[in-house]
A and B are shown apart, each in its own frame.
Chain A
Amino acid sequence: MIYLLIFLCFIIILLLHHNLSNKKKIQEIVKILDDIYSGNLDRRLVADENSEISSLVYKINEIVIKDKHKLSEFNKAEKAYKKLVTSLSHDIRTPLSTLIGYLEVLEKDTMSYEEQQKFIQIAKEKALNLSAYIQSLFEWLKLESGEWTYDFKEENICELTRLALADWIIKFEGNNINFNFDIPEKALFILIDKNAFDRIINNLLANMIKHSHANKLVVQVTEEISEVQIAISDNGVGIDEAELPFIFDRLYKCDTSRTENSNGLGLAIAKELTIAHNGTINVISGYGKGTTFKLRFPKNMKKA
């Protein structure tokens, strides 16, 4: 009988001890949580893997780590935004000051009629470039802030491609570019926003004309099982392999020595618009090896 009593007392003492030690553990945890609350997201809770509170503790740690990650992403984004604003203001100020420079020269100096005309041409070109840049800029900002409204309709992508290319034929001929279009007669209907698609093709072609110094261009539309592929290839100077991962970043300019105001937004916009169609855009290139841009549009784009 007495042994039973002793045994029971023993159990009770064990339970009380357990209870007290849990209370103590919880107090410690609360103290650490206070530190985390006050901003120290580097603090971690430690627990014995086999204890009852281990999963609770691990979960809290996970939450804190996630929070910390979010905070550092936010800080990074803020930094990137500031950098963007600085480089944008530079990208606008520079051509503007050049433009003003030319106009001042025209105002002051005495020069022949031909020279005057030449300068006026240059000034006009700079102004138009600047205007196009600001246009792209606003497009891109609209895209980024999600304000670009798409109008997806079933369109024949082959016909759209032909139409987009038609506008460029004069420019190709003017730049001595031999072109070859391989577009199937068959109608391939996909959900496309006509304006966006136009933009994509235009941006890619403009990029090609400006940078590749090519004299041969091939545009190929092919039908695959679940998608339509559009490949735009040129035989120009190509893009260095090391730079390929970055060319779709806004503001990235490969040829840093150029004085022209070429903006890196064209490719970035093309990429955004392609993604909006649930499509993909890739580039295959190498220094001196020409460039191929490949667009893939899924046949069955699920309407958002």
Chain B
Amino acid sequence: MENQIILATKQLTKKYGDVRAVEQINLNVKKGRIYGLLGRNGAGKTTIMKMVLGLISISEGEIEIFGERLKGNEKSIYTRIGSIIETPSFYSYLTGTENLEIFSRLRGTIKKNAVKSALEVVGLPYKDKKPFVSYSLGMKQRLGIANAILNDPEILILDEPTNGLDPVGIVEIRKFLQTLCHEQGKTIIISSHILSEIALLADDIGIIHDGHLLKEFSMNELEEKNKRFIEIKVNSVTKATQLLENMMKCKNYTVTDKNCIEIYDENLNTEEIADCLVSHGIGLSSLVFKHETLEDYFTSLTGGAKFE
């Protein structure tokens, strides 16, 4: 069952004067999947999301959502999208419930007691007395999420939703988003700079770097395509490489550390390698099958700088 494209940007560009903040972005988000927008801080993820949500103007390009052009259909389309951009902002001296009730009166609701249900889902109290200004960061994020899911939207656009959450909170959000997507069939676009979280959560990935969309792929594709290699740790790299070349006719390898070799030749049998090395007196302390992770792939695409 092929998922159709529910949100697409065509040549989306944002210019601030002469500065091209975001350039020719062609995103393709599939229905019912989690799309992770990956990139370093300042790469342009939030700018893209803001343009999609109509919070900043589009310099060039088009956006298509639910199969329609966004321009001219904003009202009907935005009712079907829930979002959190940057830190959720609410009225400081109103309680969470009061805040949500204002928004629900502005937007309309889909059921009776929508505010109560939404607060229940995120685990915040209903009609309590605590004003938003006294909320912890975790509670603020939760209120933002409650606001985003208030009208059971078909698409959720979340900008760094785990920002400022503790490890437990991050796991909770992850499970919550997985439920929303896999059990309720919502489409979720989430931006993050925490690679490990995205790797666990996203079905599809778009890598943004310096305002450009470098690549779009599914996690499945990545796993299949990922370079698989055998990593061996030996006591003598020089002897081992010699053996590899002469005895095993293997030229496809790299020495990555003073004791560590990565062998890319998949056809080599690990038993043979171990046997060969050990029988020639080389100390083999470890032999492992490994593959590139999302982090490795990201680093190689964006040019090696250490990711935070």
The answer to whether B183 touches A47 (Cβ under 8 A) is no
Is B112 within 8 A of A49, CB to CB?
yes
Residues of B close to A46: CB separation below 8 A: 79, 107-110, 151
**Contact indicator per residue, chain B 153-165, by CB within 8 Å of chain A (1) or not (0):** 1100000000000
- The answer to whether B105 touches A49, judged by C-beta atoms less than 8 angstroms apart, is yes
Within 8 A of A (CB), among B132-182: 151-154
Q: Are B108 and A72 in contact (CB under 8 A)?
A: no
A64-93 contacts to B (CB < 8 Å): 68, 72
B contacts with A: majority SS: loop
Which interface residue of B79, B110, B112, B184 has the most chain A CB atoms within 10 A?
A: B110
CB distance from B151 to the nearest CB of A (A): 6
Residues of chain A within 8 A (CB-CB) of B153 are 44
B24 within 8 A of A: no
User: In the bound complex, do residue A44 and residue B110 qualify as a contact, i.e. CB atoms below 8 Å apart?
Assistant: yes
List B contacts of A48 (CB < 8 A).
105, 108-109
B185 is an interface residue with CB less than 8 A from chain A: yes
Given the complex of chains A and B, what is the CA–CA distance between A32 and B76 in angstroms?
10
Residues of B within 8 A of A43 (CB): 80, 154
Interface centre among B108, B111, B185 (most CB of A within 10 A): B111
Say yes or no: is A104 at the interface (Cβ < 8 Å to chain B): no
B109 contacts which chain A residues (CB < 8 A)?
46-49, 54
A197 at the interface (CB under 8 A from B): no
Bound: A47/B76 CA distance, A: 13
Given known contacts A49-B112, A58-B112, A42 and B186 CB-to-CB distance under 8 angstroms: yes
A61 CB, min distance to chain B CBs, angstroms = 5
Q: Are A61 and B110 in contact (CB under 8 A)?
A: yes
Q: How far in angstroms is the closest Cβ of chain A from B217? A: 25
Bound-state CA distance A28–B77 (Å) is 13
A45: Cβ under 8 A from any B Cβ = yes
Complex Cα distance A139/B34, Å?
Answer: 43
Q: Determine if B105 and A44 form an interchain contact, defined as CB atoms under 8 angstroms apart.
A: no
Interface residues on chain B, number (Cβ under 8 Å): 19
* B11 proximity list for chain A (CB < 8 A): none
**Chain A window 31-55, contacts with chain B (Cβ cutoff 8 Å), 1 for yes, 0 for no:** 0000000000011111111000010
CA distance in complex: A239, B76 (Å): 56
Judge if A62 is at the interface, Cβ distance under 8 Å.
Answer: yes
- Say whether A44 contacts B104, CB under 8 Å: no
Cα–Cα, bound, A47→B183 (Å): 26
* Contact A42 to B154, CB < 8 A, known contacts A49-B104, A72-B183: yes
Within 8 A of A (CB), among B196-248: none
Report chain B residues within 8 Å CB of A28.
76
**Residues on the B chain within 8 Å of A49, using CB:** 104-105, 108-109, 112
- Given the complex, which residues of A lie within 8 Å of B110, measured CB to CB? 44-47, 57-58, 61
The answer to whether A61 and B111 have CB atoms under 8 Å apart is yes
Asked if B183 contacts A44 (CB within 8 A), the reply is no
> Which residue of chain B has its CB nearest to the CB of A71?
B185
Q: Which residue of B lies closest to A40 (CB)?
A: B154
Give the complex CA separation of A68 and B111 in angstroms: 16
For the complex formed, measure the closest distance between the CB of B260 and the CB atoms of chain A, giving whole angstroms: 36
Q: Once bound together, how far apart are the Cα atoms of A46 and B111, in whole Å?
A: 8
A-side contacts of B152, CB under 8 Å: 42, 44, 61
Instruction: Give the distance to chain B from A65, nearest Cβ to Cβ, in Å.
Output: 8
A51 to chain B, nearest CB (A): 8
Nearest-CB residue, chain A, relative to B101: A49
Distance of A297 from chain B, by nearest CB (Å): 37
Whole-angstrom CA separation of A25 from B107 in the bound complex: 14
Q: How far is the CA of A45 from the CA of B107 in the complex (A)?
A: 11
A47, chain B: closest CB distance, angstroms: 5
In the complex, chain B residues whose CB is within 8 Å of the CB of A54? 109
Q: What is the CB-to-nearest-CB distance from B249 to chain A, in angstroms, rounded to a whole number? A: 41
- Please name the residue on chain B nearest to A59 by beta carbon: B111
A-B contact pairs, 22 of them (CB 8 A): A28-B76, A42-B152, A42-B184, A42-B186, A43-B80, A43-B154, A44-B80, A44-B151, A44-B153, A45-B110, A46-B79, A46-B107, A46-B108, A46-B151, A47-B108, A49-B104, A49-B112, A54-B109, A58-B110, A61-B110, A61-B152, A72-B185
CB-CB nearest 10 A-B residue pairs: A46-B108, A44-B110, A42-B154, A58-B111, A61-B110, A48-B108, A44-B152, A47-B108, A46-B79, A49-B109
Q: A44-B152, A46-B109 are in contact. List 7 more A-B contacts (CB 8 A).
A: A44-B110, A45-B110, A47-B110, A49-B104, A58-B112, A68-B185, A72-B183
B residues adjacent to A (C-beta < 8 A): 76, 79-80, 104-105, 107-112, 151-154, 183-186
Binding site for B on A (CB under 8 A): 28, 42-49, 54, 57-58, 61-62, 68, 72
